[in-house]
Structure 1
Amino acid sequence: MLTGRLAAAALLALLPGACAQPGDFGRPAPSAWNALVETTGTLSAAARGEAALLPLTDDEQILRDRAWRFLMPAIPGDVFRDALANLARARVLPPGYAPEPVAAYYDGLMAAPARSQVSLYRRLSEDAGADARLLPVFADAAARVVAADARRLRSLPFASSLEDGAVREAALRVAENRCLIAWVRLEAGARAGRYRYALEHLFAALPGSGGVEAERAIAALTGRSPLLDPLLPPDAAARCGLVAVPVAAAPLEGAPLSVRY
Structure 2
Amino acid sequence: MCERAGPLARFFMLVLLAGLAAACVARPVGDFGRAQPSVTHDQIMPYIGGKIAANRGEPVSSFNQTDQEREMHDRTWRFLVAAHSRDWMFDSSVELQRTRIGPAKDYRYTPERYYLWLRTTQYQSSPTRYATVGRHILADIDTLPTTFRAICAVEAVDRQRRIALAELPGIEAPMAANVEARRVENRWHVDWFVRALTYRYESYAYALDHLLVETPHEQSMAVDETLRRLRPFVDRANRGDFCASGAGSGGGSGINIPSRFQTMVPDNEVVVQK
TM-score range, shorter chain: 0.7 to 0.9
- Give SS of 1:25's match: helix
Contact 2:82/2:88, CA 8 A, preserved across alignment: no
Q: Which amino acid aligns with 2:48?
A: T
Which residue number in structure 1 is paired with residue 16 of structure 2?
A: 11
Contact 1:103/1:198, CA 8 A, preserved across alignment: yes
Which residue number in structure 2 is paired with residue 26 of structure 1?
A: 33
Give CA-to-partner distance per residue, 1:146-177, whole Å, 9 cap, x none.
Answer: 12211211221333332211110111111111
Structure 1 distance, partners of 2:177, 2:199, is 32
The structure number with the bigger radius of gyration is: 2
Structure 2 gap segments, 5+ residues each: 1-6, 243-274
**Is 1:41 matched with 2:46?**
no
Question: Structure 1 181/163 Cα, relative in aligned 2: closer, same or farther at 3 Å?
Answer: same
Which residue number in structure 2 is paired with residue 116 of structure 1?
A: 125
**Is 1:205 matched with 2:214?**
yes
Structure 2 distance, partners of 1:50, 1:76, is 32
Q: CA RMSD in A?
A: 2.7
Q: How far apart are 1:63 and its partner, in Å?
A: 0.7
Contact 1:51/1:176, CA 8 A, preserved across alignment: yes
Tell me how many residue pairs correspond in the alignment. 231
Higher RCO (C-alpha under 8 Å, 6+ residues apart): 1
Q: How far apart are 1:92 and its partner, in Å?
A: 1.8
Which residue number in structure 2 is paired with residue 164 of structure 1?
A: 173
> So what's the TM-score if we normalise by structure 1?
0.77
Contact 1:50/1:176, CA 8 A, preserved across alignment: yes
- Give SS of 1:92's match: coil
Structure 1 gap segments, 5+ residues each: 233-261
Contact 1:105/1:194, CA 8 A, preserved across alignment: yes
Structure 1, 86-95 or 179-188: larger mean CA deviation: 86-95
Question: Structure 1 65/42 Cα, relative in aligned 2: closer, same or farther at 3 Å?
Answer: farther
Which residue number in structure 1 is paired with residue 154 of structure 2?
A: 145
Q: Which amino acid aligns with 1:224?
A: F
Structure 1 distance, partners of 2:124, 2:107, is 28
Q: How far apart are 1:91 and its partner, in Å?
A: 2.0
Which runs of structure 2 are paired with 1:1-261 in the superposition (5 Å)? 3-12=8-17, 14=20, 18=24, 19-31=26-38, 33-35=40-42, 36-48=44-56, 49-73=58-82, 75-78=84-87, 81-96=90-105, 99-228=108-237, 229-231=239-241
Structure 2 distance, partners of 1:16, 1:203, is 42
Q: Which amino acid aligns with 1:102?
A: P
The alignment-based identity, stated in percent, is 27
Q: How far apart are 1:108 and its partner, in Å?
A: 1.5
- Give SS of 2:31's match: coil
Q: Which amino acid aligns with 1:173?
A: R
Contact 2:81/2:89, CA 8 A, preserved across alignment: no
Q: Which amino acid aligns with 1:217?
A: T
Contact 2:115/2:206, CA 8 A, preserved across alignment: yes
Structure 2 distance, partners of 1:79, 1:124, is 14
Structure 1 distance, partners of 2:155, 2:227, is 27
Q: How far apart are 1:3 and its partner, in Å?
A: 4.7
Q: Which amino acid aligns with 1:90?
A: T
Question: Structure 1 3/166 Cα, relative in aligned 2: closer, same or farther at 3 Å?
Answer: farther
Q: How far apart are 1:65 and its partner, in Å?
A: 0.5
Q: Which amino acid aligns with 1:24?
A: D
Give CA-to-partner distance per residue, 1:7-29, whole Å, 9 cap, x none.
Answer: 34443452695234332233123
Question: Structure 1 5/80 Cα, relative in aligned 2: closer, same or farther at 3 Å?
Answer: farther
Q: Which amino acid aligns with 1:44?
A: I
